[in-house]
């Protein structure tokens, strides 16, 4: 249960004393030049490749702590970049050369894949989908639907064959990352099942470490990168054609679509009303507690920026 008064959101950081900053959609990434990355997970939220104007209090804590939780529980499957988690919003990691591809694994027909299928598409990123599937139906097997990471605008769906033909990745790296992604999805599905959930789809990112190892980077199985359904009642809702109960940020996308926004040219990005901002915060906390079985216990500091600065070794804000 969150307090009536939520702390101010951590929407932005600009710590000049930490080296160059890369501002992602959600994370501010600093490179101090010593082989480490300092990743600050802010409370920014994105949808349809747009960062919304309103940040969500505590969201960054949920994402960072949940990523740490899953990195720890998948380390025996695939090595990852985590060195330390000194603050609820901060991860210290190995500086890697990120692969320019997001490895999206789908176990069910949902979200973007369903929208493509509903529009008549039967091939997604080179994967052929059978006729007669229903929204939210389990696929015959998990499929990989990669996307190139756009610096601006929308990411682009791409097949494995196109990745090689366009020289985005070499065949050996693609094969290694694909194998890691599918193994991670299998472990994620097993962990979700233990909590009464179905891991519907998720994305993984990989980077090459200085020692040559391919590591999992960014985040794993968080609500920003994953979609979960509740297993209880799944079959009944599927048979009746009813929407599934889900834990993800898809409900944010659905709210935006109801306001007439899908990130397309000429559409106006709506503001999130305060009541909806709180609902989003509560849904993120719900997901954390549901997938981990642990109470969230947020840090309610009235000065999250100062707290983070101290955690990364800055005595004062710079």
Q: Where are the domains of the chain?
A: 98-247
CA–CA dist 256, 250 (Å, integer)? 10
CA–CA dist 170, 23 (Å, integer)? 28
Whether 317 has a pLDDT exceeding 60, the answer reads no
∠ CA 72-76-78, nearest 5°, is: 90
CATH superfamily of 98-247: ATP-grasp fold, B domain (3.30.470.20)
Whether 75 has a pLDDT exceeding 70, the answer reads yes
DSSP letters of 15-64?
Answer: -GGG--EEE-SSEEEE--SSSEEEEEE-S--EETTEE-SS--TTHHHHHH
Largest pairwise CA distance in the chain: 60
Going by their DSSP bridges, the two strands 123-124 and 97-98 should be labelled as unpaired
Name the pLDDT band for 16 (thresholds 50, 70, 90): confident
Residue pair 177/169 in contact (Cβ under 8 Å)? The answer is yes
CA–CA dist 16, 207 (Å, integer)? 25
Mean pLDDT of 33-60: 95
Three-state DSSP class for residue 83 = strand
Mean pLDDT of 218-245: 94
Whether 145 has a pLDDT exceeding 60, the answer reads yes
- Comparing 16 with 32, the larger pLDDT belongs to 32
Whether 154 has a pLDDT exceeding 70, the answer reads no
- Comparing 235 with 291, the larger pLDDT belongs to 235
- Comparing 115 with 49, the larger pLDDT belongs to 115
CA–CA dist 68, 86 (Å, integer)? 11
Please report the pLDDT score of residue 318 as a whole number.
Answer: 46
* Distance (Å) of CA 99 to CA 117, 122, 211, 219, 287: 28, 27, 15, 14, 28
**Mind listing the pLDDT tens digit for each residue in 251-306?**
899 999 999 999 999 999 999 999 999 999 998 998 899 999 999 999 999 999 99
Please report the pLDDT score of residue 227 as a whole number.
Answer: 92
Please report the pLDDT score of residue 173 as a whole number.
Answer: 98
Please report the pLDDT score of residue 205 as a whole number.
Answer: 97
Residue pair 116/225 in contact (Cβ under 8 Å)? The answer is no
């Amino acid at each position: 249960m969150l307090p009536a008064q939520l702390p101010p959101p951590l929407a932005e950081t600009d710590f000049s004393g930490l080296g160059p900053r890369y501002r992602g959609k959600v994370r501010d990434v600093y490179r101090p030049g010593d082989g480490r990355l300092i990743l600050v997970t802010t409370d920014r939220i994105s949808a349809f490749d747009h960062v919304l104007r309103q940040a969500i209090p505590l969201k960054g804590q949920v994402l960072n702590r949940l990523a740490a939780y899953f990195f720890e529980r998948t380390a025996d499957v695939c090595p990852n970049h985590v060195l330390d988690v000194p603050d609820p919003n901060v991860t210290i990691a190995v500086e890697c050369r990120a692969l320019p591809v997001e490895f999206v694994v789908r176990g069910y027909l949902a979200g973007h894949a369903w929208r493509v299928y509903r529009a008549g598409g039967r091939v997604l990123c080179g994967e052929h989908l059978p006729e007669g599937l229903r929204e939210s139906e389990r696929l015959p097997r998990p499929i990989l639907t990669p996307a190139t990471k756009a610096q601006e605008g929308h990411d682009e769906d791409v097949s494995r064959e196109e990745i090689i033909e366009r020289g985005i990745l070499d065949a050996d790296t693609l094969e290694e990352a694909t194998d890691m992604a599918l193994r991670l999805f299998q472990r994620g599905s097993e962990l979700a099942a233990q909590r009464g959930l179905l891991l519907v789809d998720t994305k993984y990112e990989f980077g090459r470490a200085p020692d040559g190892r391919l590591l999992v980077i960014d985040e794993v199985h968080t609500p920003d990168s994953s979609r979960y359904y509740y297993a209880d009642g799944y079959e009944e809702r599927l048979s009746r054609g009813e929407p599934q109960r889900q834990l993800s940020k898809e409900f944010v996308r659905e709210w935006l679509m109801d306001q007439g926004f899908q990130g397309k040219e000429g559409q106006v990005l709506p503001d999130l009303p305060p009541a909806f901002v709180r609902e989003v915060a509560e849904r993120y906390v719900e997901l954390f507690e549901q997938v981990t079985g642990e109470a969230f216990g947020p840090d309610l500091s009235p000065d999250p920026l100062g707290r983070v600065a101290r955690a990364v070794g800055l005595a004062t804000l710079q």
